[in-house]
Amino acid sequence: MADRRTFLKTLAGGAAFLLAPAGKLASNTTATDAGTSFAVVKSKDTAAAVRKSVELLGGMGAFVNKGETVFIKPNISWDKIPDQAATTNPLVVQTIVAMVIEAGAKKVIVADNTCNDARRSYKRSGIQEAAEKAGADVPFMEKRKFVRMDLGGDVLKEWEVYTEAFEADKIINVPVAKHHGLSGVTLSMKNLMGLIGGRRDLLHQKLSESIVDLAFFFKPNLTILDAVRILKAHGPQGSTLGDVERRDTIAASSDLVKIDAFGIDLFGEQFREKGLSGFPHLKMAEKKGLGTSDYRTNGYVGLDLDKT
């Protein structure tokens, strides 16, 4: 029952954030930049929201050093346009690439192992063009570049991993908040599925365990959740535009568990009944020491740029 209570508390917090007038939210902000471990920024100006969220965490320089190779993992799974919210917003990706380059990275790679045809998904998501414009390499994941390695997970023992992601100095995970038919939602941990190859569809049978294993193995240095638009039904690829809701929200943290807990709250009513126990991966991740699902208490900052 403990997790039920935490959940309610979290939910109350989340709901307060979501419902509270933005001005008040901003004034709630007490944490200093240095102490911030979880930043949520709302703005119609997506690029500004992305920049602000990372700034609140201490700037991109806190995550990326000069001369490093950075692997950015957006969700490019589907042959859908940005309005359909099945893939990460291209502007979010573009802004992150720009920031990483400004921070002095030597090389930025943006890639995903797609579900639909890779060429179409890269193209129609708008991510290929946007990321290339900002200076990233956007290669297709080619089979030969997946190498079987020991992931040391509970379920995922040995699996094919995309070498360029594994070898990069830093990984930035850029999921989009979506409903998921099987697991309820897909957020930061599930997004890491795009870094592995092989018969990953098998993992659906133990989805929660698998994605926690992945989070543990890859430990992305920074996760930026795209909730500019969220997909509320028929996820993870959606069906009609009626499934999409505009939220203009970006959340950033190096704590995947916080991001996922926050992401679930984003859906509000939809998952209230289920509670956190409806999302077993959170508890598993906490138990493994990956982070905490209580994103509200320590180092939380929420900002609405359009209201301040």
What crossing angle do the helices spanning 256-266 and 280-287 adopt, rounded to 10°? Answer: 160
Q: Does 236 bind other proteins (CB under 8 A)?
A: yes
Q: Does 182 bind other proteins (CB under 8 A)?
A: yes
What is the separation of C-alpha 155 from the centre of its chain, rounded to a whole number of angstroms? 22
Q: Does 33 bind other proteins (CB under 8 A)?
A: no
Provide, rounded to whole angstroms, the least separation between the CB of residue 234 and other proteins: 5
Q: Does 91 bind other proteins (CB under 8 A)?
A: no
Q: Does 247 bind other proteins (CB under 8 A)?
A: no
Q: Does 83 bind other proteins (CB under 8 A)?
A: no
Q: Who's near 289: CB < 8 A, 6+ residues apart?
A: none
The DSSP bridge pattern shows strands 107-110 and 69-74 to be parallel
Stretch that binds other proteins, among 39-47, 230-238, 255-263, 264-272 (CB under 8 A): 230-238
**Contact map string, positions 46 to 75, toward other proteins, x by CB under 8 A:** ------------------------------
Peptide bond into 236 cis (omega under 30): yes
Helices (H), the chain: 2-19, 22-28, 46-56, 90-102, 118-124, 127-134, 163-167, 188-191, 207-218, 256-266, 280-287
Stretch that binds other proteins, among 20-28, 98-106, 198-206, 258-266 (CB under 8 A): 198-206
Token duo for residue 164 = 């360029």
Q: Does 207 bind other proteins (CB under 8 A)?
A: yes
**Interacting residue ranges for other proteins, rule: CB under 8 A:** 79, 115-120, 123-124, 139-140, 142, 144, 180-182, 199, 201-202, 204-205, 207, 234, 236-237, 239-240
